[in-house]
Amino acid sequence: MQLNDFKEIDWKSAGNLPAPMKAVLLSILAIVILLLGYAALLNPNLKALREEQEKEQALRDTFMAKKLQAIKIDAYKKQMVEIEQTFGALLKQLPDKSQMDGLLTDINEAGLAQGLAFEAFIPQEEVFADFYAEKPIQIKVVGRYHQLGAFATEVAKLSRIVTLNNLHIQPVGKDDKTHKDGLLMEAVAKTYRYLDADEVSARQALALKAGKKP
Distances (CA, A) of 54 to 41, 60, 61, 68, 155: 21, 10, 11, 21, 68
The residue type of 79 is: Q
| Contacts with 99 (C-beta within 8 Å, 6 or more apart), sequence order | 160, 193
The residue type of 213 is: K
The answer to whether 9 touches 21, Cβ cutoff 8 Å, is yes
What confidence score (pLDDT) does residue 46 get? Answer: 64
What confidence score (pLDDT) does residue 186 get? Answer: 94
Total Cβ atoms within 10 A of residue 116 = 24
Report domain extents, the chain.
1-92, 97-200
**In the chain, at which residue ranges do the beta strands (DSSP E only) sit?**
117-123, 127-128, 132-143, 162-171, 183-194
What confidence score (pLDDT) does residue 36 get? Answer: 67
The answer to whether 104 touches 123, Cβ cutoff 8 Å, is yes
Nearest to 138 by CA among 161, 114, 164, 106: 164
The pTM score is: 0.51
Nearest to 103 by CA among 116, 118, 121: 121
What confidence score (pLDDT) does residue 43 get? Answer: 61
Sequence-distant contacts of 125-133: CB under 8 A, at least 24 apart: 128/195, 128/203, 130/214, 131/194, 131/195, 131/200, 132/94, 132/192, 132/193, 132/194, 132/195, 133/192, 133/193, 133/194, 133/195
CATH number for region 97-200: 3.30.70.60
pLDDT in tens, the chain (214 residues): 544 555 555 555 555 556 666 666 667 767 777 666 666 666 666 677 778 888 888 888 888 888 777 777 877 777 777 766 665 566 665 666 667 788 888 888 999 999 999 999 998 998 888 778 888 999 999 998 899 999 999 998 887 788 899 999 988 866 665 666 689 999 999 988 877 777 778 777 877 777 755 4
What confidence score (pLDDT) does residue 151 get? Answer: 92
